[in-house]
Amino acid sequence: MRYVCRFFFILLWAFCLNIQAQAPFRAMFYNVENLFDCQHDTLKDDKEFLADSQRRWTKTRYWKKLNALTKVVAAVAEEQLPDLIGVCEVENDTVLRDWTRRSAMRSLGYRYVMTESPDLRGIDVGLLYQPGSFKVLEHCEIKVNLSELMSRPTRNVLYVKGRLRDNDTLHVLICHLPSRLGKRRESEYRRKVAAQVVRQVVDSVRVSQPMARMLVMGDFNAEMGDEIFEKEILSVVSTSENGNYLHESLPLFYEPTMTCKENKDVKGTYRYRGIWESIDHIFVSPSLCERVVGDNQIIAFPFMCETEQKYGGIRPFRTYQGPIYKGGYSDHFPIVVDFEFDE
């Protein structure tokens, strides 16, 4: 009996070690919908988000928004705290500093890096990270150079290189591709140029590290099947060493299936005139696929939703509907993907 007990104890001990050896890691992306401070930047067109504007963007509304976004992150963290949070539509360093260090978010211990883009409105992209699970080694922003005929500049791409708990390296790109407003041909061209910049950064990493772990997150303003994914982001490549092909017809990136477990009526990350669209994406490189656990999850807790009167159904509970203040969270739902890495 003593030997039987010892045997089961050893099995239990081995089982516990196996659980501890697999460290959960969560990445999240969130378009936070016009996170502006209340101060006028003379170099940017941010006048619509001031206290004396039509939107009446006051400090009270600003801090309410920061704490509302924290509520979303905290709700996600009840299951698992996101180690990385890619964000877009953040105005400047002030809003991320206030969010991570002066709002209720400060208790979660996030640090951040971000871009300083030439976007006329001043909106940028950023990455919040947990320093205990992702150590930033380097970061930079890559400019998206549009044609001189395209007078309106767009957001830069953020590149971050970091070390994981298993001591391996993860390369992260955060992007916010140009919107679909304006003439169709022009907007498609602008998104294509931005997508090519993302591809160039990916290719530059792969030159020295063909099997690098890479994660691309962003608001692409395009759904799967769009030309930018087929020709730029997901296009088929091969890698070689000394003339010998290691992988043939290897997709550059994969996107895990997108689902929403909180509400089966949610069919995308954004809803426009009653139509669901999935324009926010998280892509993983083939070398990272084996670590993915489950699907891309669309996060749509009940408090983040509202009933859409005109078209029926639900939609994201946003901060503004045009100039009308609604006091919600964002016009997009965030998405998360989980990984397991060896300690």
Q: What tens digit of pLDDT does each residue of 173-232 get?
A: 999 999 887 667 778 888 999 999 999 999 999 988 989 999 999 999 999 989 888 888
DSSP category for residue 8: H
The whole-number pLDDT of residue 56 equals 95
In a domain, 4, yes or no: no
The whole-number pLDDT of residue 340 equals 93
The whole-number pLDDT of residue 15 equals 36
Encode pLDDT of 7-64 as tens digits. Answer: 333 333 333 334 344 569 999 999 999 999 999 988 888 899 999 999 999 999 999 9
In a domain, 41, yes or no: yes
The whole-number pLDDT of residue 295 equals 86
Map tokens 């999240």 to a residue: 28
In a domain, 13, yes or no: no
Encode pLDDT of 72-83 as tens digits. Answer: 999 999 999 999
In a domain, 16, yes or no: no
Q: Count CA atoms closer than 13 A to 49's CA, side-chain side.
A: 26
The whole-number pLDDT of residue 237 equals 54
Residue pair 256/293 in contact by the 8 Å Cβ criterion: no
Taking the CB of residue 326, how many other CB atoms lie within 10 A of it?
13
Encode pLDDT of 237-271 as tens digits. Answer: 555 555 444 444 467 899 999 999 889 999 999 99
Residue pair 112/55 in contact by the 8 Å Cβ criterion: no
Domain count, the chain: 1
Amino acid at 33: E
Give the integer Cα–Cα distance in Å for 178 and 20.
42
In a domain, 17, yes or no: no
Higher pLDDT, 127 or 248: 127
What is the residue range of 262's domain?
26-238+246-336
Encode pLDDT of 281-302 as tens digits. Answer: 999 999 999 899 988 899 999 9
Higher pLDDT, 100 or 149: 100
The closest alpha carbon to 138, from 160, 171, 106, 116, belongs to: 160
In a domain, 180, yes or no: yes
In a domain, 6, yes or no: no
The domain that holds 315 is classified in CATH as 3.60.10.10
Residue pair 335/282 in contact by the 8 Å Cβ criterion: yes
In a domain, 11, yes or no: no
